[in-house]
Homo-oligomer: A and B are copies of this chain.
């Protein structure tokens, strides 16, 4: 029986409707959630990501501001702008689109953003608070995956979740969130020996490697839930880390690419910004 398709597009749309209602309620109480996106240079992928974020903010009726700089901006100038935004009471979320030009330390910029406006969840303090289970902003892709699982009624307690990939923005944080949801969690990566013998144990398999269609049916236990975080541009178009055609034949549920995890990431950014506005007002 072919797998149920977990439509991130649909779930994201549902959440955005909820967020739209929430924003309109907040506005009645004179709370106006506001996201500022800083874009340096004109990398086409970054342009497209930023456009998606601004559009999503508009869609839910939230204010957003795009600040653009030429790619010759100095680190000092950028840090000073971040500092101003930190102090600006009307701003609830600050996002500096990565990557940044080479004269600028991305880590220094990430750490310059005030933790209480770090809606991307990349600041070390945000990461540390997430790890220890304290209130914080969860980074958007892992938070989006958790929402996909929750809203698809995938139970996690006592299940074996296997995460392939150990990046700071997906692999590590999603592993810790799955752990908090009481799954037994295994983290695999490029140095893992006999990957299939491990991934085949997964009740829930998260592929976050960034290698086109590397997870085949030989890696998947029949009945598993498969979440594909990969976005790989190939000659055949955009594909995930999972060989969708064959894996969808044996999985019980699977996310497509595109239309799976992608739409959730931006949606979680909106949710974080609204949450920030509420905390700030509260």
Binding site for B on A (CB under 8 A): 107, 123-134, 157-160, 166, 168, 172, 175-176, 179, 182-189, 191-193, 198
Contacts and interface: CB of A to CB of B under 8 A. Distances in A.
A3 to B, nearest CB: 23
Contact of A128 (B126, B133, B158): B126
Number of copies: 2
Given A189-B184, A193-B158, A131 B134 contact: no
Q: What does DSSP make chain A's interface, helix, strand, loop or mixed?
A: mixed
Given A124-B131, A131-B172, A175-B187, 13 more contacts: A123-B128, A124-B129, A125-B125, A125-B128, A127-B131, A127-B132, A128-B128, A158-B192, A172-B176, A179-B189, A182-B189, A183-B191, A185-B186
7 contacts: A124-B131, A124-B132, A128-B130, A131-B168, A133-B168, A184-B187, A184-B192
A134 to B, nearest CB: 7
A168 B132 contact: yes
Contacts of A123: 128
A77 to B, nearest CB: 24
Contacts of A189: 179, 182, 184
A193 B187 contact: no
Contact of A107 (B130, B134, B157, B158): B134
A197 B168 CA distance: 29
Nearest to A124: B128
